[in-house]
Amino acid sequence: MKKVITYGTFDLLHWGHINLLKRAKDLGDYLIVAVSTDEFNSLKNKKAYHSYEHRKMILEAIRYVDEVIPEEDWEQKVQDVIEHEIDIFVMGDDWKGKFDYLKQHCNVVYLPRTVDISTTKIKKDLVVIAR
């Protein structure tokens, strides 16, 4: 069985997220999604609209996702890859090169982002609509 892992906040879930999860799952047999906890988001100066528990519940309902684990800090990736026997680490290509250090433990794949959609864009659009 080929295992794949990806990481993210996955707040305000949209079709770009689904597209990324589908393409990640297509690379293997089992997809693990590591979701940033509320505490980790706070350390990154990010605030998610939905709580970690709600984002986890939403992701667990998606057919491409086999398991959801918490992402609690930047340094856990090597441990996750080893502990979960990961074959492929997947991230969006806006992170290209940032996780190449994992290549000694697994394959690293940077997938193109879905054009014209992002959580940041949705948040900006909602501010405009609210005005």
Annotated catalytic residues are: 44, 46
E-strand ranges in the chain read 3-8, 30-36, 67-71, 88-92, 107-111
Return d(Cα 29, Cα 57) in angstroms, integer: 21
Q: First CA to last CA across the chain, in angstroms?
A: 50
SS3 at position 99: coil
Q: Hey, what are 32's tokens?
A: 């693990």
